[in-house]
Structure 1
Amino acid sequence: MTQIFDAENRAIFAQNYPETPHRLRHNLRDHPLLALDALAQLGESLPAASVEYNRGDLPTGVDPNSDIANGLSIGDTIRTVDICRSWAVLKNIEQVPEYRTLLLDLLGELKPIIERRTGAMLMPQGFIFVSSPDAVTPYHFDPEHNILLQLKGSKTMTQFPAGDPAYAPDETHEAYHTGGHRNLVWREELACGATDWTLEPGQAVFVPVMAPHHVKVGPDPSISLSITWRSDWSYAEADARAFNSVLRKSGLRPRAPGRYPARNKAKAFAWRVIRKLRRAG
């Protein structure tokens, strides 16, 4: 397989991982598994829980309880992406052997860098986004280390500082890590803290764990691939957030977990004990 990230781009990644957003270039172009028809077939073969597709003509901020369905099947959404004004994501593509090989080959190029910095590369996952022109992915965050590779069309990811409660309040993090939604409340005054990353085919952007962002597709249909992984640090941060929700419900005002390289071990361990007791109860 042709190397996707060359030596220069691996060096850029090494300089910035895991906390600094940065642009990369990749050589993943015209792969047959990422063609539109192949993706429609993939979407039809995945379990329902691994497919999400909605209207794409949405505002930046969306109420998690809103009805944003597009009325189509996943296959029809992808095949008519140029006209259906929708947004689709195929989750956990590693469930399919051919796509798992593709994902692990990509991450394998970066694995030595990742593991020197944040330890074992855990839970490698892949997500494919197929979007109509001008589609919007609302303001949200994700718990994984993430590189978004643009394959077809263009899109602009507007990214905000990770770990700053001005953009994602501590209470929202705590709710998410105890079963809540990842969408965030958008306010126009947040825009002053944004950094725009406009991606053309062959470009990629790194997204730190829990960095808030929203996405707007350009004037043509877009296909992009998100390659993600977890680390002991990211799991500890998530579990410390969950433990903080217990403290907050007890009337306390807990301090937010530290960003990398803070370990967050004590709170993470406490939450894991609570979780284990709840499951045993």
Structure 2
Amino acid sequence: MEMSTVPAVHDATLPDKWIEANSSVFRENFDRMSFEVSHHLALHPLFQLPQLMELAERTLKTRPSDLYYDMGNVAPGQKWKDTGRVFSPLKALRQLEDSSAWFIFRSTQRDPAYTELYRHAIAEIKDMVGGGIESKISREDIIIFVTSPKRVTAYHIDRECNFILQIHGKKDLHVFDREDRQVLPEEELERYWSVDHNAPNYRPELQNRARSYKLVPGNGVHVPVNCPHWLQNDDNISVTLSVNFQFIDSMRADVYRANHYLRRLGINPSPPGRSSLRDRAKVMAFSIANALTPLRTDPLSTEPLSQARRSEGRK
């Protein structure tokens, strides 16, 4: 089984506008709830497997930490630390049909061949958001995911505001409401922002609370910050583009971090947003202890927590 070959096309054959969304749905749900979008990037030549193999080779030579991969059968509730590798990334990519692999090409805009694609895509999203969003963003990124047939991407949450655009193949995306505390308890959010990107736990008995989308070439889904989600690839090779950014506002994250340590002291802290006075006091107290907090990373971010905290407040 091979990914269907698509004739190479020049960027000029693409329409001026790449990403489409219902404007009223966008305004109402942006960074609140998931919703579907459409796009015109499925024929873009930079997403063909030969070009992605070249990208992998260049990335391994110049930015090896920006190419993550793992292999094997994965269940929705499995943790990143429980995945493994059998052979080299280039071999796994060449044998994608049978390697049960999942690849993440992080910060693809750092590769000169993809820089203009990044600029165009991120500019369109900023234009759709409007409202001075530029001043609220601390970090922008495009990530390419390449996935073997039937492979699962485990349940997780992200610190980024995501637009997941399907390029090749089909897969199912299941997105949960981040405000549902049975799905995502406060304690798991606190641990996520403090010490453990593996903190959110999949609860199969609550799967019916997810909003499910069939991703096909030409459509995509907006996934807000911290909305739990997982994916099941169809019996095909899949290529997916994530256009995403992180917000500057660090107060909510730092309140979660402060609450994590308060809970360890036996205190039952109030969630962020209940009292602006308490939130500010927690942030101030947390900033004093910040340097003592353990570091950690996850497959979707190479940035240690202490560095991430510093970058949240800086553009």
Range into which the TM-score falls when normalised by the shorter chain:
0.7 to 0.9
Encode CA deviations 1:182-223: one digit per residue, 9 max, x unaligned.
Answer: 363223212121111111100010001100011001121100
Query: Does the alignment pair 1:4 with 2:44?
Result: no
2:28 is aligned, of 15, 23, 32, to 15
Report the equivalent of 2:119: 104
| Gap change, CA 1:73 and 1:197, over 3 Å in 2 | same
Encode CA deviations 1:238-280: one digit per residue, 9 max, x unaligned.
Answer: 2221111122122211122249xxxx6554454334326878x
Encode CA deviations 1:21-55: one digit per residue, 9 max, x unaligned.
Answer: 10000011222222112212222332332222112
Separation in 2 of the partners of 1:117 and 1:200?
32
Separation in 2 of the partners of 1:172 and 1:54?
24
Report the equivalent of 2:37: 24
- Within-5 A mapping of 1:5-154: 5-6=19-20, 9=22, 12-46=25-59, 47-66=63-82, 68-116=83-131, 119-154=135-170
Q: Letter of the aligned partner of 1:38 in structure 2?
A: Q
Q: Is the 8 A contact 1:151 1:225 kept in 2?
A: yes
SS of 1:177's partner is: helix
In structure 2, runs of 5+ residues without a counterpart are 1-10, 294-305, 307-315
Q: Is the 8 A contact 1:94 1:126 kept in 2?
A: yes
Task: Give the TM-score normalised by the residue count of structure 2.
Answer: 0.78
SS of 1:201's partner is: coil
Separation in 1 of the partners of 2:232 and 2:27?
28
| Gap change, CA 1:145 and 1:269, over 3 Å in 2 | farther
SS of 2:141's partner is: strand
Q: Letter of the aligned partner of 2:31 in structure 1?
A: P
1:132 positional shift: 1.0
| Gap change, CA 1:273 and 1:96, over 3 Å in 2 | farther
| Gap change, CA 1:44 and 1:107, over 3 Å in 2 | same
SS of 2:289's partner is: helix
Range with bigger deviation, 116-125 or 30-39? 116-125
Encode CA deviations 1:161-189: one digit per residue, 9 max, x unaligned.
Answer: 11332122222222222231236322321
Q: Is the 8 A contact 1:60 1:186 kept in 2?
A: yes
SS of 1:228's partner is: strand
In structure 1, runs of 5+ residues without a counterpart are none
| Gap change, CA 1:164 and 1:108, over 3 Å in 2 | same
SS of 1:116's partner is: coil
| Gap change, CA 1:251 and 1:268, over 3 Å in 2 | same
Separation in 2 of the partners of 1:39 and 1:266?
48
Encode CA deviations 1:76-126: one digit per residue, 9 max, x unaligned.
Answer: 222222222221111121222332331221010121343517552330111
| Gap change, CA 1:99 and 1:236, over 3 Å in 2 | farther
1:11 positional shift: 5.3
Over aligned residues, Cα RMSD in angstroms?
2.5
Q: Is the 8 A contact 1:114 1:121 kept in 2?
A: no
Separation in 2 of the partners of 1:268 and 1:35?
46
Identity fraction in percent: 28
1:154 positional shift: 0.7
Query: Does the alignment pair 1:245 with 2:260?
Result: yes
Query: Does the alignment pair 1:198 with 2:214?
Result: yes
| Gap change, CA 1:241 and 1:100, over 3 Å in 2 | farther
Separation in 2 of the partners of 1:276 and 1:43?
35
Q: Letter of the aligned partner of 2:207 in structure 1?
A: A
1:231 positional shift: 1.5
Report the equivalent of 1:181: 197
| Gap change, CA 1:169 and 1:82, over 3 Å in 2 | same
Separation in 1 of the partners of 2:132 and 2:157?
22
Report the equivalent of 1:212: 228
| Gap change, CA 1:56 and 1:117, over 3 Å in 2 | farther
Q: Is the 8 A contact 2:186 2:271 kept in 1?
A: yes
Q: Is the 8 A contact 1:241 1:256 kept in 2?
A: yes
